[in-house]
Every structure is written in C-alpha cells, then in structure tokens.
A and B are shown apart, each in its own frame.
Chain A
Amino acid sequence: MRRMVALAAIAAAMAGCGGSDEADDSRTLTVYSGREEELVAPLFDRFEEETGIDVEVRYGDSAELAATIAEEGDNSPADVFFAQDPGSLGAVDELLAKLPSTTLSRVADDLRDSEGRWVGTSGRARVIVYNTDALSEDEVPDSVYDLTDPEWKGRVGLAPTNASFHAFVTAMRLDAGEERTRRWLEDLKENDPTFYEKNTPIVEATASGEIDLGLVNHYYLYLVQAEQGSDAPIANKYLPFDDPGALVSVAGAGVLASSDDVDAAERFVEFLLSDESQRFYTDEAEEAEIPLVDGIDPKEGVPSLDELSDRGPDVDLSSFGGELERTLELLNETGYTS
C-alpha cells in the first residue's frame, strides 16, 4: 500500500513537471485540414521544427470540416482552415480574418480570395485522364465539349458528387453561361457516362480499362501510379485551348477570426507559401501539385502555372463558394446527383 502511495506521488510530481514545462515554452496551433494526411503531414512536421510551435491537426473531408467550423461558430478551436477547394473556404469566409498583404502577394491575385480572407497554397489542373492502351494522346479530345460526341458513348467517367467536379461545372457556367452548360450536361448524360464517387476510382477504372477516359484533377494519376506501379497504362492530357476542362483551381488556407493565436496562424499560412514549402510539391510530394509562387517549377511532366494560365476559363475562384449552390441545383436538375 505504502509503495502504491509513493508511486502515485511520483507520478503526480512528474505530471506536474510536465505541465509546467509545457506552459512555459509551447504554443499550440490547431489546424483543420481537409487535405489528406498522407499528402501534407510532412509540411506540418517541418513547421513544428522550424518554429517550435506545436501543431495539432484535425483531418477530415473539406466540406465536412467547413460544416463543423460553421457549427462551432466563435467557439471553434481551429486557428487555421487548410482546405482542398475554394468552395469549402468560401463557405466559411465570413469566419476568416483578412490575411497580411505580404502573404497574399506571394500568389497571383486570381488564386486567392478577392477580399484576402484565404489564399491558394497549391494548384491543380483539370485534365482528361486516359487509358494509353486504348487511346493515343491525339485521339483524346482537345475539349470537354467534344465528349458529347457519340464516339465517346459509354467510355467516359466522372464524379458528379465530388467537389472537384463541382468546381469544374461552376467554371463552365461562369465561362460559357448557364444554358450552354445545361445543354452540355444533358448531352453528356445521353452518352452514358459512368459515375464514380471520387477522382481516385476514376483513374483506377481508367487504368483497368473499365472506361477509356475520365474527367479528373491532374495529380490523382500519381497517386494511382504509386499504388499500382508507374507502368499502369494511364496518362493525363492537359487540354490545349481555352476550355473549362483546363481549369486551374487551388487548395488553400485561411486564418479563423476567432483564433486565440492569430500570429502563429498567420505564420503557418506564410510558411505554406515559403519557397521551401512550395518546393515540397515539386521535389517530394508524390502527387505533384503545382507550386503557386513565382520561380518554382512543378515536377517534370506537369505544366507550370504560366503554361496553364493561357488556357482555361477566366473565372474568379473566390466566387466558387457562392456559386456552388446553383451548380448543385443544375446537377440535380440534369439528373447527375439524383
């Protein structure tokens, strides 16, 4: 019995020490990350090493985390929201604080919120992924508008419930107008596309030959190659012209206005846009996203931002959050999500 009391005393003393140590020199930053742990965890580690600030990360789906932040309101424990898409950031932009202009100016102004509440941290291009056994690059259409051609009947895959597809349809609406988009959706539906839940299964199905081509973001190719080997018969086609199918979108981050350590939170966003972090996407990250900061080139085989910016629709990413509802209605009316 006496021994147990002694042990308990020691334990209590140790706990006490640990507690006071922590209180002295540790600041903790809470990040809600809609970006996958498998992809971005090294960035968090590096920030901790560099600054000594502890980072606690809640991983989840971007849209679900946005809904969580909305429910938490001013009581949100989150300091930073690091999201997969402009839509999720836009959904909570009223809860975000304006970022310092030095951070914002790191990226082109069409890759951040027009009011400066969030900023893009890495880019992704829409592409057509295709099966290289079935098609050569030239045979793959140069425009998504060609996919309604009877030639592609039953051969196309897409993910109508996925945020990246929503962003693409939003871009088409803003670029080509409501009617044109509706007609395209209806005609494409006639062509019996196969629906998938997410981008990864589309690329997998393309690799297996279940479909011949799919509408996805460029980097899923690399994830599937990591799983299946680089000899998987798949390749990306970056659409050459001014086409909604060549949209460049971003993952991004914002600081919550309710954060109790805005300084640390801003440092984190700044860190994500540092040259070193941006090089991470080129040199290390398996999924090869596109760096957004000037002077840093993407991984070999991925076009740079400059090359991409001539293509693609001219649209405002910060309006995507507000436009999302109309896009979803359109998808519902044309039978894509109902």
Chain B
Amino acid sequence: MKRPRYLRFLSLLMFLQAAIFLGYFYLSFNQPTTLTFIQIWVTELNRGNFDLNIPRGLATVFFLTGTWLGLGVASFLIWIGLWRVWAWAWSAAIILEGVVLILSLEAYLNNVVDWRFYTAMVVAVLISFLLNQHETQILYKVIETPVEGPFGK
C-alpha cells in the first residue's frame, strides 16, 4: 500500500514521539538518585519489610518515569496503528495528544517546565494538527468523504 505523504509524516512524528518519551524514561530512570532510591527500597524488601513504606521522593520519581514509560509505550502502539491505517489509532492518538498537551501546559503554568516538556509540546502540536486534517480524518474514517446532495449545493 502506497501511503500518502501526510500519513508518512504523521507516522514519523508518532514514532519520534515514542522514541522521545522512551528516551526520557531511560534518562529519568538511569539517574543516580533514582537508582539509589530503588536500591534502598529493594534492600528493605529483601529484609522482609513489606509494609510498602516507599522512601520519600521515590513516589514522585516513579510517577514521572512511569508517565514517560506509559506515554512512550502508548505512542509506540499508536504508531503501529497509524502506520497500518487502523481506525482506532486516530481516536487513540488524539486522546494521547490531549494528555501530552495537558501535562505540558500544566507544567508550563506551574513553572516546572523544562526542555523535555517543550519538545513534547512541539511534537504533540504537530501531530494534533495533522490528525485534524480533512484528509487524515477521511483516511481513518473519522469523517465521511463529502458527497454532493440530491440537489447539488
């Protein structure tokens, strides 16, 4: 199947988004503080302490890394769906971009924004506008191809 240019571009952006989020996950997870937190927790577990007393700070780290991982995996799966032109992929993609934009804008409004959020924002904006194009929506059967009525105009 010869895919139109806008679809190739959309898929490329979605793949890029998956790579970015998984990259963020790797960077966040691989930090010394994160690893130290995890080592402490694992040690506690080995000692038989199962009261789930998560060390301070680890919850935040888990949330952040978990978010990047979740977004990355979701982006990857949606990339496959978009590339195969599966109808559900459009809906999943628009919801995903909504989540990414809410997180980015929330970070911006709370003054905790950094280059990672800005990058995510740029990619999400581009993907959203591509998803909102007439051609894209017709391809994924979100809207029907306009047909002329019984009396023309």
**A and B: interacting chains:** no
Partner-A contacts on B (CB < 8 A): none
